[in-house]
Structure 1
Amino acid sequence: MTPRTQARSSAASIRPGSGRLYGVDAARGLALLGMMATHLLPTFESTPELTPTWVVLVFSGRASALFAVLAGVGLALSTGKHRPPAGPELWGARRGIALRALVIAAVGLSLGGLDVNVAIILVHYAVLFLCILPFLGMELKRLCAWAGGWIVGSPVLAYLLRPWFLAPAPPLTLGHNPSWEDVSAPARLLGDIFFTGYYPVFQWLSYFLVGLVVGRLVLDRAMVPVVLLAGGLIIALPAKWLGTAAMQDWGGLEALEKVINSPGYPLENILQVNLTGIPQKDSWWWLASAAPHSGTTLDLLHTSGTAVAVIGAFLLLGRLAEWVDLDLLLPLRGAGAMTLTLYSAHVWAMSGLYGEPVPRGWTENGLYFVQAAIAVAVGVVFALLQRRGPLEWVAHSAARLGRGKVSARR
């Protein structure tokens, strides 16, 4: 093989258009590391003012949203890319995704039985896979309309319906991660998954719809990543500005402090970190916030926009990697291709730290960087070996089983 032929062969091995889009995997790897950071690193500075740390200001709400948007992108890429499936192919794809969701739900319910200070996303993630099935065959314009309408309408409906789910005794909320024991109380489990839990599926379907829209674009066209990067920022930045202005300048913060009626409660800082756990009721001002995990229209717009911008940026980095003939994304794309395995291992490791002090000689930063380094190293090894992670292999096998004869014909 001549040097020129060898260089072309090497470039082809990392070309984003061949096989997996490496930029998508790398973005998923970043989402994984961001979620791990919010689990392990401090949320507030050790000051009386409870100043939020840079970690939560960067990753809280955004990392998990990126994870969910990328799920929608992955579904689009595995079901025809920019050509939605139809007929038997569509039904085969739906069966495959449904069986894949069952595998993810089983892993999530099993992890839910662990004592861990982490809001595990997998059960909600699996339900979102089922909820997106009716949209798989839609053309791009209809998908855009559904995504926009869901972002605008679902927060309002959730605000109106949530009190109904919290009214019974006991309320239809878990207060903990879903586990196998909760299957015996389906009303409470579903109420938590769709409306009252940490990742309310009713609003979070917006992320899967946005991801499906992105995945239905022709991602290997030259300008598409640029449009995603610029368009994502154009949506994300004004949404965050509007939410901040509504709270700080237009009276929203004062109105919500009166609703909470708890003098000294650091609501201003909480709005920058995580609104989960605060009953969003008795004031329409809650819907004007762009706080992380608030599930409002502005929050969904901001986090969806940042996710789309990150995907565009990583697709551009993939193009750069092709141009310089160097796999620049390998550390992140390796971990991003096996997030189910690595996320589950991370949760299991976190359960060993639950209720225990930080081991002597360690810091929270040290624990994070060790776990992140292990995740990256394992991902690189599997990527170089061109192997799926263990749980990814099970989920992929289930999906192939569901697709059945359609997959065989293809």
Structure 2
Amino acid sequence: MRRIEGIDLARGLAVLGMVTAHVGPDSRWLEIADGRSAALFVVLSGVSVALMSGGARPVDGVRRVQARVKVLSRAFILLGVGVALAALNTPVVVILPTYALLFAVAACLLRTRVSTLLVGAGVVVLLAPALRVLLEGRITAELNGGGIIDLVIGEYYPALVWIAYLLVGLAVTRADLRAPRTRAALLIGGAVATVLGYGSAAVLTRVLDAGPTLSRLITAEPHSSSTPEVLGNIGVALLTLVACLWLAERLPRLVAPLAATGALALTAYVGHLLVIWLLGPDVVWLPTVGGWLAFMVVIVGACWASRATVGRGPAEWALHRVAARAADTGEVRATPVGDPT
């Protein structure tokens, strides 16, 4: 089954948002990309896992085993790539190790019902931020390369909290993203989550005389991984996904460059970090409008041209190739609904 262009469009916006958070100039308008783009990226990881395992109709038997192997293969590869990128010591916290850990967790959730996924996401949103703060007080973790502890409760992408985004992505895809009823529910749910998340932070931070610990739990600042921030980010991700599905179906030619960027998201992400490494840390610490626009134009242009001529990017090709070989039992080949790579 062909790819869902709206998902590629959303993924393209997510990766460009992360690039903007890294090299974009200081601007109130561009600050919206900080944190929210990475959250959307992880929500879409749940979407990808669900699509690899049958979409709204999960595969069974050998096909489920193959899907699980594909997901785990991707997790191991992404972990290796993430560690290698972190070793470059750029002034960017690499999301791929946490992304890989969440992929590995997702491999265990292929049979989970939508209701269970949503309840699980709700429990994580409500309890995990406080649990993370509690664990931080008992465990010393080195940031940006502190091993499994950092992946679970670290400062920027703590898997303990960010798994909520993955669960939401799995749930909405299992509920069938093509169905108008599902999209209406996502539109309403996304709006409610956005208002409750950011609204509660706006109120609580003004009415409570909070100390350092409580302040961390009621703020909606980017990468605070608090309940209000995570809830608000989920809402924004759902609204963005619905908007992208609508736009891609009605204006496919207009959004084609951004959708191509989403289809080659891993290549774009890895490539921009390699360029940052080559150019030096000043491109992050002293960003300019011209430098940011250059990143945007080159990334979108290269991805659009590559998709039109080659199909997959080099990172996507390698990821797909290894995962497909690992999952090939020699008996039945799985047919995923829109393989995300």
Answering whether residue 157 of structure 2 is matched by residue 196 of structure 1, we say: no
State how far apart, in whole Å, the 2-side matches of 1:226 and 1:380 are. Answer: 31
Answering whether residue 333 of structure 2 is matched by residue 408 of structure 1, we say: yes
Alignment of 1:204-283 (within 5 A): 204-248=162-206, 250-252=207-209, 255-256=210-211, 259=212, 283=213
Amino acid at match of 2:268: L
State how far apart, in whole Å, the 1-side matches of 2:317 and 2:283 are. Answer: 36
For structure 1, which segment, 377-386 or 139-148, has the greater mean C-alpha deviation from structure 2 after superposition? Answer: 377-386
Report SS of the residue matched to 1:165: coil
State how far apart, in whole Å, the 1-side matches of 2:215 and 2:28 are. Answer: 26
Structure 2 equivalent of residue 32 of structure 1: 15
Answering whether residue 286 of structure 2 is matched by residue 380 of structure 1, we say: no
Q: Structure 1 409/160 Cα, relative in aligned 2: closer, same or farther at 3 Å?
A: closer
Structure 1 equivalent of residue 224 of structure 2: 294
Structure 2 equivalent of residue 395 of structure 1: 319
Q: Is the 8 A contact 2:12 2:262 kept in 1?
A: yes
1:334 offset after TM fit, Å? 0.3
List alignment gaps of at least 5 residues for structure 1. Answer: 1-17, 44-51, 167-171, 179-187, 260-282
Structure 2 equivalent of residue 338 of structure 1: 264
Report SS of the residue matched to 2:90: coil
User: Once the two structures are superposed, what CA deviation does each residue of 1:282-311 show, in whole Å capped at 9, x if it has no partner?
Assistant: x33422222221111111110011001100
Report SS of the residue matched to 2:139: helix
Alignment of 1:362-373 (within 5 A): 364-373=288-297
1:386 offset after TM fit, Å? 5.5
Q: Structure 1 287/386 Cα, relative in aligned 2: closer, same or farther at 3 Å?
A: same
Following TM superposition, the consecutive aligned residue runs of length 4 or more in structure 1 with deviations greater than 6 angstroms are: none
1:124 offset after TM fit, Å? 1.2
Query: What is the alpha-carbon root mean square deviation over aligned residues?
Result: 2.0
User: Once the two structures are superposed, what CA deviation does each residue of 1:302-351 show, in whole Å capped at 9, x if it has no partner?
Assistant: 00110011000011112213xxxx52220110000011111111001111
Amino acid at match of 1:135: L
Higher-Rg structure is: 1
Among 70, 77, 89, the alignment partner of 1:115 is 89
1:111 offset after TM fit, Å? 1.1
Q: Structure 1 357/130 Cα, relative in aligned 2: closer, same or farther at 3 Å?
A: closer
Q: Is the 8 A contact 1:109 1:123 kept in 2?
A: yes
1:96 offset after TM fit, Å? 1.2
For structure 1, which segment, 61-70 or 130-139, has the greater mean C-alpha deviation from structure 2 after superposition? Answer: 130-139
Q: Is the 8 A contact 1:226 1:316 kept in 2?
A: no
Q: Structure 1 68/159 Cα, relative in aligned 2: closer, same or farther at 3 Å?
A: same
Q: Structure 1 240/409 Cα, relative in aligned 2: closer, same or farther at 3 Å?
A: closer
1:385 offset after TM fit, Å? 2.7
Q: Is the 8 A contact 2:198 2:228 kept in 1?
A: yes
State how far apart, in whole Å, the 1-side matches of 2:325 and 2:177 are. Answer: 28
State how far apart, in whole Å, the 2-side matches of 1:396 and 1:152 are. Answer: 36
1:379 offset after TM fit, Å? 1.5
Answering whether residue 11 of structure 2 is matched by residue 53 of structure 1, we say: no
Q: Structure 1 164/19 Cα, relative in aligned 2: closer, same or farther at 3 Å?
A: same
State how far apart, in whole Å, the 2-side matches of 1:150 and 1:407 are. Answer: 36
Q: Is the 8 A contact 1:26 1:336 kept in 2?
A: yes
Q: Is the 8 A contact 2:172 2:182 kept in 1?
A: no
Structure 2 equivalent of residue 143 of structure 1: 117
Among 64, 78, 82, the alignment partner of 1:104 is 78
TM-score normalised to structure 1 length: 0.77
Amino acid at match of 1:369: L
Among 278, 293, 304, the alignment partner of 2:234 is 304
Q: Is the 8 A contact 1:73 1:214 kept in 2?
A: yes
Amino acid at match of 1:289: T
1:195 offset after TM fit, Å? 0.7
1:112 offset after TM fit, Å? 1.1
1:153 offset after TM fit, Å? 1.9
1:199 offset after TM fit, Å? 0.7
Structure 2 equivalent of residue 130 of structure 1: 104
Q: Is the 8 A contact 1:227 1:312 kept in 2?
A: no
Answering whether residue 85 of structure 2 is matched by residue 159 of structure 1, we say: no
State how far apart, in whole Å, the 2-side matches of 1:409 and 1:133 are. Answer: 15
Q: Is the 8 A contact 1:84 1:138 kept in 2?
A: no
Number of aligned pairs?
Answer: 333
Q: Is the 8 A contact 1:117 1:354 kept in 2?
A: no
Structure 1 equivalent of residue 338 of structure 2: none
Q: Is the 8 A contact 2:79 2:97 kept in 1?
A: yes
1:357 offset after TM fit, Å? 7.3
Structure 2 equivalent of residue 11 of structure 1: none
For structure 1, which segment, 189-198 or 367-376, has the greater mean C-alpha deviation from structure 2 after superposition? Answer: 189-198
State how far apart, in whole Å, the 1-side matches of 2:227 and 2:314 are. Answer: 37
Q: Is the 8 A contact 1:151 1:300 kept in 2?
A: yes
Q: Is the 8 A contact 2:62 2:332 kept in 1?
A: no
1:97 offset after TM fit, Å? 0.9
1:354 offset after TM fit, Å? 2.5
TM-score normalised to structure 2 length: 0.91
User: Once the two structures are superposed, what CA deviation does each residue of 1:107-154 show, in whole Å capped at 9, x if it has no partner?
Assistant: 111111113111111111111111222211112122222122222221
Structure 1 equivalent of residue 253 of structure 2: 327
Q: Structure 1 202/385 Cα, relative in aligned 2: closer, same or farther at 3 Å?
A: same
